[in-house]
Amino acid sequence: MSYFDENNLLRVNWRCSLNLIKFFKSPIRGYFDSEAEYVVTWYDKRLSSGNGESRTFVDINLINLSNPTYQTPNELLQSFIVIQVPINYLHKIPFGSIWEGGKSKEKFQCEEFEVKFSKDNNLFYLPLWKENHPFECDKYVHTSDLERFRKDGNNLLVIKHDNLSCIIHPLHFFMAHYGYSSELKRILSVYNWSEVIKHLCIGENPTSNDERVIVLPRNLSDKDAVFLYHLKYDNYSKAVIQRVSDRIVSSKNPFNSNNCYQISCWHTQEITLSFYGIRLGNSVLCCQITGISQPQGEPITLALPPLVTPNKNAKEVENEEQQYRIIKKEREHDLEQLDIALNPVNNLVTVDVIEKLKLLGEAREINKIRTSQEASHTSNTKFLNYDDPTDFSVGDRIGKTGLTGIANCLYEIEYDSKDRNSRLDTVWEHATRLRAEMGASVFWWTPKLGFREEHKFKLISLIDVCNSAKKSYPESTLILRIDVRGKTFFTFSFPERNNNTSFSSIVYEPANILEFLSFDVEDGVFNFLKLLIEVISLQSISSDYVDYKNGRMATFKHRIARNNDNNWVWNGIKKLL
Collapsed DSSP state (helix, strand, coil) of residue 282: coil
User: How do residues 350-392 score in pLDDT, each as one tens digit?
Assistant: 222 334 567 888 888 888 776 544 444 444 444 333 333 333 2
- Report the range of poorest mean pLDDT among 60-64, 163-167, 324-328, 559-563: 324-328
Q: In what order do the strands lie in the sheet with 11-13?
A: 11-13, 103-108, 97-100, 37-48, 57-64, 80-86, 29-30
User: How do residues 176-230 score in pLDDT, each as one tens digit?
Assistant: 999 988 889 999 999 999 999 999 999 887 765 667 899 888 778 778 999 999 9
At 230 the pLDDT is 97
Section 432-444 average pLDDT: 93
At 412 the pLDDT is 61
Q: How confident is the model at residue 2 (pLDDT cuts 50, 70, 90)?
A: confident
| CA 52 to each of CA 47, 190, 253, 387: distance values in angstroms, whole numbers, following the listed order | 13, 10, 13, 50
- β-bridge partners, 273: 115, 292
At 442 the pLDDT is 95
Question: Could you tell me which residue, 87 or 373, shows the higher pLDDT?
Answer: 87
Section 148-176 average pLDDT: 93
- β-bridge partners, 213: 301
| CA 115 to each of CA 135, 155, 164, 280, 289: distance values in angstroms, whole numbers, following the listed order | 17, 19, 11, 17, 11
Neighbours of 278 (CB within 10 A): 21
Residues near 400 by beta carbon (within 8 Å), at least 6 away in sequence? 330, 331, 333, 386, 520
pLDDT above 70 for 45:
yes
At 542 the pLDDT is 80
At 105 the pLDDT is 83
Q: How confident is the model at residue 275 (pLDDT cuts 50, 70, 90)?
A: very high
- How far is 175 from 48, CA to CA, in rounded Å? 17
At 523 the pLDDT is 53
**pLDDT above 90 as % of the chain:** 45
User: How do residues 512-546 score in pLDDT, each as one tens digit?
Assistant: 888 898 876 555 678 898 899 888 888 888 877 88
**pLDDT above 70 as % of the chain:** 77
Section 258-284 average pLDDT: 93
Question: Could you tell me which residue, 507 or 307, shows the higher pLDDT?
Answer: 507
Q: How confident is the model at residue 329 (pLDDT cuts 50, 70, 90)?
A: very low
Neighbours of 381 (CB within 10 A): 13
- How far is 229 from 238, CA to CA, in rounded Å? 10
Section 295-314 average pLDDT: 68
pLDDT above 70 for 459:
yes
At 18 the pLDDT is 79
Question: Could you tell me which residue, 402 or 535, shows the higher pLDDT?
Answer: 535
Strand ranges for 244-365 from DSSP E = 271-280, 283-292, 300-304, 325-328, 358-359
Question: Could you tell me which residue, 372 or 435, shows the higher pLDDT?
Answer: 435
For the chain, the straight-line distance linking the first and the last C-alpha, in angstroms and rounded, comes to 34
DSSP assignment letter at 118: B
At 500 the pLDDT is 65
pLDDT above 60 for 315:
no
Amino acid at 16: C
Radius of gyration of the chain (CA): 26
Q: Where are the domains of the chain?
A: 423-575
Q: In what order do the strands lie in the sheet with 213-215?
A: 213-215, 300-304, 366-370
- Report the range of poorest mean pLDDT among 108-117, 275-284, 355-364: 355-364
At 360 the pLDDT is 84
**Cα 279 to the center of its chain, rounded Å:** 31
At 108 the pLDDT is 94
Environment class of 470 (CB within 10 Å of its CB; exposed 0-12, middle 13-18, buried 19+): exposed
Tell me the residue length of the chain: 577
User: How do residues 62-79 score in pLDDT, each as one tens digit?
Assistant: 999 999 888 888 888 889
Comparing CA positions, the residue from 28, 57, 288 lying closest to residue 189 is 57
Cis, bond preceding 474 (omega within 30 deg of 0): yes
Half-sphere exposure at residue 90, Cβ-oriented, CA atoms within 13 angstroms: 34
What are the phi and psi torsion angles at 372 (to 5°)?
-65, -25
Query: pTM value?
Result: 0.65
Collapsed DSSP state (helix, strand, coil) of residue 536: helix
